């Protein structure tokens, strides 16, 4: 199986590019984040014409996650157990940030971890709570083949960001955020892209602002954690940097994991 994750930053704006990449890359399962639409607005026809089934979870023009699979798609869940909600005022809302489905025997979770916004913003506490409760849920799944893939909004190592002084990434480099990211290892998971790809300046995200991409000023914030039964099947990983190039690119690129049968 070839499994990929990609924060597409609005699927309606990038459907042709995403489907074309699926065809060229031979990807079997794609987890998407920031689809920015409701299920009825998702351009499903293009994916279905290419042979993919879809699971889609979106509540409005923000956030949103989806999974496209050409190897089966069953048992869809639109949140993980005890997933926290968020609201600055009023009752917290469980946002469209997690979507689980079983694809050819692998339980795939497409995840869009909250950004955090600022160290004194309630969104930062939300981010840490989201990661903590996801880790707790993941620990209960660790004996099965499970993939936790997506945009974690954490740069876990100093080499995962062009500068730790980047004002746009203050919530991505704190000890608390990094500890919450590494806690998945304690829950029985291995981060697969790190196994095959170098740590130094291997980025998955470059902001649109200030010419970050041509300057090489990026972050590595998109990852693929796997439970032990799945991790032992991993044979390779790729970060598709070229998908950040050209007209209509997302600010993230795909992370691809190859798994033996």
Q: What is the pLDDT of residues 71-130, one digit of tens each?
A: 999 999 999 999 999 998 889 999 999 999 999 999 999 999 999 999 999 999 999 999
CA–chain centroid gap for 250, Å, is: 13
Q: Please state the length of the chain.
A: 261
When mean pLDDT is compared across 3-7, 163-167, 171-175, the lowest value belongs to 163-167
Task: Specify which residues 100 forms β-bridges with.
Answer: 77, 109
Residue 198: pLDDT over 90? no
Q: Please check whether residue 221 is in contact with residue 153, taking contact to mean a CB–CB distance below 8 angstroms.
A: yes
Q: What is the pLDDT of residues 136-171, one digit of tens each?
A: 999 999 999 999 999 999 999 999 999 999 999 999
Count CB atoms within 10 A of the CB of residue 10.
Answer: 15
- Determine the Cα–Cα distance for residues 129 and 124; give it in Å rounded to an integer: 9
Question: The domain that contains 205 carries what CATH number?
Answer: 3.60.10.10
DSSP 46: H
Instruction: Give how many domains the chain has, as a whole number.
Output: 1
Query: What is the domain extent for residue 81?
Result: 2-259
Whether 108 contacts 147, CB under 8 Å: yes
For residue 188, give the DSSP letter.
Answer: T
At which residue do the structure tokens 């876990």 appear?
Answer: 156
pLDDT in tens, 206-247: 999 999 999 999 999 999 999 999 999 999 999 999 999 998
**Predicted pLDDT of residue 56:** 98
At 201 the pLDDT is: 79
pLDDT at 89: 86
Two tokens, residue 92: 């917290």
Angle between helices 122-141 and 175-186 (to 10 degrees): 10
**Phi, psi (rounded to 5 degrees) for 155:** -100, 95
CA distances to 13, 23, 108 from 163, rounded to whole Å, are 30, 35, 32
CA distance 230 to 92: 34
pLDDT of residue 46: 98
Cβ-in-10-Å burial (0-12, 13-18, 19+) of 216 comes to: exposed
CA atoms in the 13 A half-sphere facing the CB of 244 = 23
The residue among 200 and 192 whose pLDDT is bigger is 192
- Which pLDDT does position 104 carry in this prediction? 98
- Which pLDDT does position 88 carry in this prediction? 82
Average pLDDT of the chain is 97
Question: Please, are residues 1 and 71 in contact by the beta-carbon 8 Å criterion?
Answer: yes
Q: How far apart are CA 251 and CA 221, in angstroms?
A: 12
């Amino acid at each position: 199986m070839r499994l990929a994750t990609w924060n597409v930053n609005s699927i309606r704006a990038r459907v042709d590019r995403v489907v074309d990449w699926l065809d060229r890359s031979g990807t079997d399962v794609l987890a998407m984040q920031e689809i920015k639409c409701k299920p009825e607005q998702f351009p499903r026809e293009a994916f279905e014409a290419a042979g993919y089934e879809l699971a889609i979870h979106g509540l409005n023009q923000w956030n949103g996650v989806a999974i496209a699979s050409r190897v089966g798609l069953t048992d869809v869940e639109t949140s993980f157990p005890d997933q926290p909600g968020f609201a600055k005022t009023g009752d917290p809302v469980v946002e469209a940030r997690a979507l689980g489905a079983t694809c050819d025997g692998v339980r795939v979770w497409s995840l869009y971890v909250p950004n955090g916004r600022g160290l004194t913003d309630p969104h930062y506490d939300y981010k840490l709570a989201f990661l903590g409760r996801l880790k707790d849920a993941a620990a209960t799944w660790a004996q099965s083949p499970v993939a936790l893939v997506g945009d974690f909004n954490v740069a876990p190592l100093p080499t995962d960001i062009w500068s730790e002084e980047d004002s746009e990434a203050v919530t991505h480099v704190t000890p608390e955020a990094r500890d919450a990211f590494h806690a998945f290892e304690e829950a029985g998971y291995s981060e697969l892209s790190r196994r095959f790809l170098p740590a130094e300046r291997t980025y998955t995200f470059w902001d649109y602002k200030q010419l970050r991409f041509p300057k090489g000023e990026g972050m590595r914030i998109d990852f693929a954690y796997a439970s032990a039964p799945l991790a032992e099947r991993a044979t390779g990983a790729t970060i598709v940097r070229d998908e950040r190039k050209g007209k209509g690119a997302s600010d993230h690129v795909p992370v691809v994991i190859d798994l033996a049968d």
